[in-house]
Structure 1
């Protein structure tokens, strides 16, 4: 595992297009809109994007933040130290190797190292296959938030919420990322 750099931007945008194409063939409109390059670059510069590399190839990526998307989690839940998973993507070249599951283990381990209580995520509301995937990987369903989307307060497309306790894990990756900063408090 390495931290993403601005040199990874084009690869990450291509990676997302590849994932959107695959998801579309499964019948979901998830990620059908292009992700703004400037927003992705901002997350890279913030140090929240991580790359799983296989030599010179990118096998997967995951974004981890300590900030939740607005309107998803209750004030009480937000008082609990949490790490939020975003944009988990595995190259189709590595399909079937459970790299996504191992990336989630790595994320849970990183959350644990940061003294977080929870590893949390929101998933596409109508992508039941993805929801089942997260449940198989130890997440527990919390609720689905359907209103208050980013555009005009309309329906939320990514409001299926799940969490699992942050815990030490053996993910098998060589981690070359900086140690996470512990939560204060």
Structure 2
């Protein structure tokens, strides 16, 4: 399997991929990702070079967004002063489930974060999706806190505010053929 930067032509595939994941999550009893993701926002992240696709031959096996930009209102100023990379929208196709591809992607992201100068690999997860939270804990993340206020709509409840982090670390053993562009150096805010 190889990982590569997403390109604008991948937009329909990524939107369909997210719908597939939302349907699966719904079957598990969570409302995560029930609302469609705005195509223009996804395209902007693709064009920014922070969306990556894992391909297994012609099939899309997984996707991950890895960015130096934190979502507003989640991390403290002190935390933001530490160089970090942030994982978003990690999704594995049901056809590739059970192979720890998500864990390998987290290792790839941690390696990329380390090579860019980050101290931390951070993420936020759905506040009510406890199995997802356990998944991240089982992959070396430590829960920092849960932010429940200050959602995007009128300051309402935040749905993705379970914060976790693990040290960025070199890990060439993730087993993904990395064809992405080189990571950029990051600095603290």
- TM class by shorter chain equals over 0.9
2:177 alignment partner, SS class: coil
Alignment counterpart, residue 34 of structure 1, candidates 23, 33, 36: 36
Q: Larger RCO: Structure 1 or Structure 2 (Cα < 8 Å, ≥ 6 residues apart)? A: 2
Partner of 1:111: 113
Distance, in Å, in 2 between the alignment partners of 1:184 and 1:154 is: 31
1:143 alignment partner, SS class: strand
Partner of 2:174: 171
Partner of 2:94: 92
Distance, in Å, in 2 between the alignment partners of 1:180 and 1:152 is: 35
Matches within 5 A, 1:33-182: 33-169=35-171, 170-182=173-185
TM-score of the aligned structures, taking structure 1 as reference length: 0.99
Alignment counterpart, residue 19 of structure 2, candidates 17, 20, 35: 17
Two-structure CA RMSD over aligned residues (Å): 0.8
Distance, in Å, in 1 between the alignment partners of 2:6 and 2:69 is: 19
Q: Which runs of 4+ in 1 moved over 4 A?
A: none
- Give the superposition deviation at 1:150: 0.5
Deviations 1:116-159 (A, max 9, x none): 00000000000000000000000000000000000000100000
Q: Is the 8 A contact 2:68 2:186 kept in 1?
A: no
Deviations 1:20-57 (A, max 9, x none): 00000101000000001111000000000000001111
1:163 alignment partner, SS class: strand
Gaps of 5+ in 1: none
Q: How many residues align?
A: 185
